[in-house]
Amino acid sequence: MKILVTGGAGFIGGNFVHHMVKKYPEDKIINLDLLTYAGNLETLKPVEDKPNYEFVRGDIADRDFVMELFERERPDYVVNFAAESHVDRSITDPGVFVRTNVMGTQVLLDASKEYGVKRYHQVSTDEVYGDLPLDRPDLFFHEDTPLHTSSPYSSSKASADLFVLAYERTYGLPVTISRCSNNYGPYHFPEKLIPLIISRALADEKLPVYGKGENVRDWLHVSDHCEAIDLILHKGKPGEVYNVGGHNEKTNLEVVKTILKALDKPESLIEFVTDRPGHDLRYAIDPTKLETELGWKPKYTFETGIRQTIDWYLENRDWWENIISGEYANYFDKMYGEDLSE
């Protein structure tokens, strides 16, 4: 089998490429990535010399390029991770989110239809369901919860999901969609909450927490997400949506304090800063369908997963220190400069 993975130089795509290259030596894994600010070939060092792995640099929204790639490679499966993924960036620059997340997905769908792929899998997010109130812990996102987005990011992802489902209904393309909760783990870009807090706490720098830190996210270790996608790709039913999550709801403040405790750093590093506009209050996934129909079970609890993640950041300083000393420093100053004290 030939499996085209897009966005495999990013956080989750990179972990997925590692997983697939190791688990399926007989398959060929082709990683198509544009290498935007979020893509990093260092993440692929462990697999770059493997005979069943190939990297191709390119843009999923470039129709001619994508069609040529499909003509040449004829992939059996397509797994689309490629996206602009950071909510804060979507608030300052929504256009690129439409281009990559919506138009890029549509180009991949056209190519998948044209070349008759056996399965097109779209990696989506729980953010397409909008948010839940903080005072209703009994409510969860189910696969049939209406799409109700808040940010330009989540709107672009929801839009892509609708195109994916339309290609199944209209053209009979065999598609699946997974909607996962917040991931954490190795190779997570330090603009996102958990790696941002780990890297800044290690340097005794102020930790920006939006609003009062009471927003709730449902955290899943990236390797449990990768297992779920592998399972859906091989055993999921075409046309179906699967929610992925492990019931690990935490307030942002709880997450930050857990990391500080593990690193033996003081809570006085926390600084409450201006809230994110339109900030979603709570995400919580009901993964029953994936568990009962496909037998998925996460391996990590939040406690074991966050320990493994912190250890990875301690043991792989080069990976993230390279990022935070580069172009990312300008982004950080622009994003938080006026808000954070010295």
Residues that bind ligand NAD (CB under 6 A): 6-7, 9-13, 33-36, 38-39, 59-61, 81-83, 85, 100, 104, 123, 125, 157, 180, 182-183, 189
Of the chain, the end-to-end C-alpha distance in Å amounts to 53
CA neighbor of 185 nearest in space, from 291, 90, 279, 316: 316
Question: Could you tell me how far CA 36 lies from the centroid of its own chain?
Answer: 15
Position 217 contacts ligand TDX (CB under 6 A): yes
Choose the one of ligand TDX, ligand NAD, none that binds residue 215, judging by a C-beta under 5 to 8 angstroms depending on kind: ligand TDX
C-alpha to C-alpha distance for 247 and 285, rounded to whole angstroms:
7
Residue 77 a catalytic site member:
no
Residue 161 vs 265, nearer CB to ligand NAD: 161
Residue 126 a catalytic site member:
yes
Residue 120 vs 184, nearer CB to ligand TDX: 184
DSSP assignment letter at 103? I
Residue 54 vs 271, nearer CB to ligand NAD: 54
Quote the least distance from Cβ 209 to ligand TDX, whole Å: 4
Task: Give, in order, the Cα–Cα distances in Å from 10 to each of 44, 171, 221, 311.
Answer: 9, 30, 15, 20
DSSP per position, 246-302: -S-EEEHHHHHHHHHHHHT--GGGEEEEPPPTT---B--B--HHHHHHH----S--H
Residue 230 a catalytic site member:
no
Q: 29 near 20, Cβ under 8 Å?
A: yes
Q: Which of 40, 149, 215, 243 binds ligand TDX (CB under 6 A)?
A: 215
Choose the one of ligand NAD, ligand TDX, none that binds residue 97, judging by a C-beta under 5 to 8 angstroms depending on kind: none
Choose the one of ligand NAD, ligand TDX, none that binds residue 103, judging by a C-beta under 5 to 8 angstroms depending on kind: none
Return the C-alpha torsion angle 24, 25, 31, 37, nearest 10.
Answer: 80
Give the type of residue at 208: P
Region near ligand TDX per CB under 6 A, out of 19-27, 84-92, 167-175, 311-319? 84-92
Residue 84 vs 168, nearer CB to ligand NAD: 84
Residues 61-88 as b/e (b if ≥16 CB within 10 A, e otherwise) read bebebbeebbeebebbbbbbbbbbbbbb
C-alpha to C-alpha distance for 171 and 153, rounded to whole angstroms:
27
Q: Which of 33, 84, 127, 191 is catalytic?
A: 127
Position 82 contacts ligand TDX (CB under 6 A): no
Region near ligand TDX per CB under 6 A, out of 50-58, 93-101, 205-213, 315-323? 205-213
The pair of structure tokens assigned to 330 is 């300008």
Q: Which of 77, 120, 153, 167 is catalytic?
A: 153
Residue 172 vs 329, nearer CB to ligand NAD: 329
The pair of structure tokens assigned to 198 is 């780990």
Comparing every residue's Cβ against ligand TDX, the nearest one is 125
The pair of structure tokens assigned to 186 is 């190795």
- Binding flags for ligand TDX, 172-191, as an x/- string (CB under 6 A): ----------x---------
Quote the least distance from Cβ 35 to ligand NAD, whole Å: 5
C-alpha to C-alpha distance for 159 and 153, rounded to whole angstroms:
10
Position 265 contacts ligand TDX (CB under 6 A): no
Position 85 contacts ligand TDX (CB under 6 A): yes
Residue labelled with tokens 């006026």: 338
* Other C-beta atoms lying within 10 Å of the C-beta of residue 160: 27
C-alpha to C-alpha distance for 217 and 182, rounded to whole angstroms:
7
Active site residues: 126-127, 153
Sites of contact with ligand TDX (CB under 6 A): 85-87, 125, 127, 182, 192-193, 196, 208-210, 215, 217, 252, 276
